Structure 1
Amino acid sequence: MNHHLNIFRFFNENNSVEFIENNLSRAFSISLLNSSILFNDFLKTIISEEDYNYLFSVFNNEDALFEIDLQIDTDYIDRDAFNKVYAIALTEHRLNMDDFFQQNHVKKQNLTDIVISIKDILIVIEVKKYNHDCKWQLFNQIYPFIKDDSFNNKITPKSISWSEVVTLFEKVNNVGRLTNSESPFLRDFLKYASYHRPNWFNPKPFNTVKFSTTGQNAHSITQRLKQALSKCKYPLLDYSDRLGVAVPFHWASEIIPHLYHYENDKIKNYIGFCIWPGNTKTQGYSVYNKPLDWVNKNNLMINGKDYELEIVYDLKFSHFNKYLTNFQYTENDVQEVFHSNKYFHEFSGKWNINQWNEFEEFLDSKFKKEFDWRSKCNWENKLINTDRTYFTVSFGYEVCVFIPYSEFMELDKKEDDIEKVTNFVNSIIDSLQNLLN
């Protein structure tokens, strides 16, 4: 469906935090109003069982007062109409509300994000897109009740996360799909939320996620992978730009999974696990001081089964120990493969600017004329046309083992199966490690 047809998206919407938070409040409120099941399940998560029974065990038209509203100034709420107040912080992660009543009061206008009133129970909700500590705002919003002695012990602060809310939406929406009564409000809210905050969605078992290398499904697969990797024998990489594990091998430092789709292959969808032997000169000593017969392997055995293995040669350029650029080649691209013990010791490492012509001549002598290595690594822009006076080059490899996605789906059918995935990932890591040992 065209995203412009989403109930909660607008042609002129902007990406400011305030706009998105206000629109989330509105979308959430409209969804509650249009799904009695969602409204019921949400109330159960935020109010006590005693209050829930009080509200719904007996129905009387005379006191069946119900309203959801936005942007209400709490100074003008009729306190005499209520006997109980819930102060709800809705944020990315749950907040510790133990110090809620120790917040400082500031005299100013306090507009709520969402107010729900049922009979004589008032629910005030402060909405934050991120994990913002909004206790101070929430405290001041209900301060008119806090200063009223008649509300002693009648105010309950509580925190709920967007992940919990999204899970409620998903379950209720799935009930609607099962009974052919899917709500467009719930459906569009989930799409709107997944666009702006995909991390609110809990990782789903692989068996429930259709393979994709882009979009929400790719994000869901990656999140499930992250969940599995976080429990494996080595720690997650401490980088925000890539998901993987840090390995303590002398010849490599990280293993990173990637999603691959090959339309023309019999098996089209894979999760590849890649490692880079010799990614630095220091690592290279542990690679080139051993036999290199592993470079010719096409398969890797994992738990007694062979999987497709791809190995390519990789040249990485760095400056001040930071990555600059790289390019890869295969035997078909060269007149002579120069990833060898001899050339590693002679040509890898540091090259000062007065030696760059010599380095260019070396590569020109190795590659076939039709292989333009300069364009592949953006040689001119990354090095020649800069103020850099040196670079370091490593003669490494990219090694990827390809696991059909269908095997992960077969392995991971329910939440508790994450341990099976972790064990399989550990086996993949062991097999990659043994490749060079």
Structure 2
Amino acid sequence: MFNNNRHLNIFEHYTQKGALPIENNISSGLAILLNENHLFLDRFIDYVNAKCQEKKSGCIVPKPQKQEDKEIGIQQQISKIVDSYPDPQTVIGITLTTAAPVDIIENKKDNNHQLITDIVISCKDTLVVIEVKRNASDARMQLKQQVDSIISVVERKGGNVPDRELLDGSWEEVIAVLQDVHSLTGSNHNTILAHYISHLENNYQAWFPVARLSDLEITKANEAAIDKRILKLTQNCCENDDDTMKYAGRIIVPLDCDFASEAQIAMDYDSKRLMITIWSGDTKWQGDCLLNKTINDFSWIYADSLTVEGHALDLVTEPYLRLAHFQSSIFHEYFLMDYYEQHYGSSKDQCRDLFRNITKQWKRHNWDELKQLFKTTYSGLIDVSSFDASFANHFEDSNRSYAQVSFGYETTAYIPLDVFNKFEKMSSTSRDGDRLAAFISKAVQQLIDTIK
């Protein structure tokens, strides 16, 4: 396959290495579609009117009945807009950004008739001003200046003061409209609409609505879209969306048990499997709970599968040494499993001795003693050369004065491609309809029940 065929797309253009397409090109493509695709314009007007209704606004965009009822303009000066449409009854502004806009910032400067709009749509007696931005840092302020400036020029030229509304739009919502129209018109890959959607996919995949994993090829090229779905899966496994950021901003599923605090969902791209991972006994407190409060022995460490709703999931548990500072993990050193199985097996008693001897805060003057333990009493438990290199890098050659040492068990269940695709094809990405999230939640609970 020729590696530059993406430039056969009518919206793609050549740039210098590392350069991103500028916002004007995105605006131009959107304006072309609004002008050429009548169904998309109709659905976009529905989108704007729905936004007005959400705000309980009396403003509405009338739909054009004939060609002369509408006009699409790009990069228009305010004065030129009012020259062409001197007496609009309504002016509606909408931002089109990748995130929720900031609060309205009142413009303290005089309105400037030299302001340039990204896109303006004239529909009968209504003007819709679209401010296109990849981020929301200043989109709302610019939009407000443009709408206020149009109204000011209309007044100055003797026109009636039009109704006014400012709306918050997003690329994710507009792309959903584009995709719906594309689906309704037969998904022809050679249409202007298909070219524009492909152009956005090539450059701005993270802007797209959450896609089901069954609709995506599981490759690194689709990582942004896959990460977006994994975030949604994580949120749908939580009681509240905010729970996903409960611990230091990391995307996790918080667990309601005393020996493990979180589960994480990730994609293994090499094997095309979803991974569900929990860390039991990770901190000193969790280790104490794992060793002294759970009733099961440690035979679960050696289990190689977990059956959930009739599906056998590969299961891997790896004991590890955790070194932390200020309660934050600095590095992990995994135990050597042959040694661990021979010396600890499924016994909690043997592990309690290890816990008592190493799980504590080691100060700098004791670090040689700590390192010596892994060369004498616990020789063979870890790769000493690897540990020494990491310890020197993260502790001895740093300003840290202590190391918090504990050990735990990293357990990962793998959901194969055919299984997660089966659930995705029957799922929606909403919380109530997300069957894959329900399956993951059940798998996590079975893991917890196995350990405790």
| 2:441 equivalent to 1:426 | yes
Q: Secondary structure at the match of 1:112?
A: strand
Equivalent pair of 1:93/1:131 in contact (CA under 8 Å): yes
Instruction: Give 1:4 deviation, angstroms.
Output: 7.2
Find out whether 1:384 has 2:393 as its counterpart.
Answer: no
For residues 450 and 38 of structure 2, the distance between their equivalents in structure 1, rounded to whole angstroms, comes to 58
Matched position secondary structure for 2:256: strand
Which of residues 135, 141, 156 is equivalent to 1:136? 141
1:85-104 map, 5 Å: 85-93=91-99
Matched, 1:206 2:213: yes
Secondary structure at the aligned position of 1:230 is classed as: helix
Q: Which residue identity does 2:331 align to in structure 1?
A: T
Separation of aligned partners in 1, 2:160 and 2:137? 27
Instruction: Classify 1:43/1:347 alpha carbon distance in 2 versus 1 (closer, same or farther; 3 Å).
Output: same
2:200 matched residue in structure 1: 190
Equivalent-residue separation in structure 2 for 1:355 and 1:208 (angstroms): 55
Question: What is residue 321 of structure 2 aligned with on the other side?
Answer: 315
- Report the 3-state secondary structure (helix = DSSP H, G, I; strand = E; otherwise coil) of the residue aligned with 1:388: coil
Shift of 1:190: 1.8
Matched with 1:297 is 303
Match of 2:274 in 1: 271
Q: Which moved more, 1:390-399 or 1:281-290?
A: 281-290
| Corresponding letter in the other structure for 1:255 | A
Distance 2:191 2:388 in 1: 50
SS at match of 1:412: helix
Check conservation: 1:270, 1:403, Cα contact below 8 A.
yes
Aligned: 1:247 with 2:250: no
> Aligned AA for 1:256?
Q
Q: Distance in 2 between matches of 1:376 and 1:406?
A: 42
SS of equivalent to 2:275:
strand
The whole-number CA distance in structure 2 between the counterparts of 1:179 and 1:335 is 59
String of CA shifts for 1:239-283, please: whole Å, max 9, x gaps. Answer: 576422111311111100121245xxxxx4311111111111111
Q: 1:215: which partner in 2?
A: 221
The structure-2 alpha-carbon separation of the partners of 1:425 and 1:334, relative to structure 1 and needing over 3 Å to count, comes to: closer
Q: Structure 1 length as normaliser, TM-score?
A: 0.81
Change in CA separation of 1:222 and 1:156 when aligned onto 2, cut-off 3 Å:
same
CA distance in 2, matches of 1:220, 1:95: 22
Q: What CA deviation, in whole Å up to 9, does each residue of 1:114-151 have, x standing for no partner?
A: 22345654332112322346443223213344231634
CA 1:280 to 1:182, structure 2 compared with 1: closer, same or farther past 3 Å?
Answer: same
- Where in structure 2 are the equivalents of 1:277-426 lying within 5 Å? 277-289=280-292, 290=294, 291-303=297-309, 305-332=311-338, 337=343, 340-365=351-376, 366-368=378-380, 371-374=383-386, 378-413=390-425, 414-415=427-428, 418-426=433-441
Matches within 5 A, 1:59-138: 59=67, 63=68, 66-70=71-75, 72-79=76-83, 81-82=85-86, 83-84=88-89, 85-93=91-99, 106-108=110-112, 109-117=114-122, 121-132=126-137, 134-138=139-143
Q: Does 1:163 align with 2:172?
A: yes
* Distance apart, 1:394 and its partner CA: 0.9
Q: Percent identity?
A: 21
Whole-angstrom distance in 2 between the partners of 1:400 and 1:335: 18
Q: Secondary structure at the match of 1:400?
A: strand
Q: How far has the Cα of 1:15 moved from its partner?
A: 6.3
Q: CA deviation at 1:382?
A: 0.9
Please give the secondary structure, in 1, of the residue aligned with 2:237. coil
Secondary structure, counterpart of 1:178 in structure 2: coil
SS of residue paired to 2:79:
helix
Contact 1:331–1:337 (8 Å) recurs in 2: no
CA 1:165–1:377: 2 relative to 1, 3 Å:
farther
In structure 2, distance between residues paired with 1:337 and 1:151: 88
> Against the structure 1 CA distance between its residues 91 and 373, is the aligned structure 2 distance closer, same or farther, given a 3 Å change threshold?
same
Partner Cα separation in structure 1 for residue 31 and residue 361 of structure 2: 61
1:72-100 Cα distance to aligned partner (Å, 9 max, x none): 33134334634343322223356699x89
> Normalised by the size of structure 2, how large is the TM-score?
0.79
Counterpart code for 2:434: E
Distance 1:182 1:144, change over 3 A: closer
Relative to structure 1, is the Cα distance of residues 383 and 335 closer, same or farther in structure 2, using a 3 angstrom cutoff? Answer: farther
The separation in 2 between residues aligned to 1:324 and 1:96, in whole angstroms, is: 36
Q: 2:47 aligns with which of 45, 52, 55?
A: 45
Cα gap change, 1:208/1:433 in structure 2, threshold over 3 Å: closer, same or farther? same
Distance 1:162 1:135 in 2: 15
3-state SS of 2:115 partner: coil
Q: Structure 2: which amino acid aligns with 1:280?
A: T
Counterparts of 2:202 and 2:110, CA distance in 1: 34
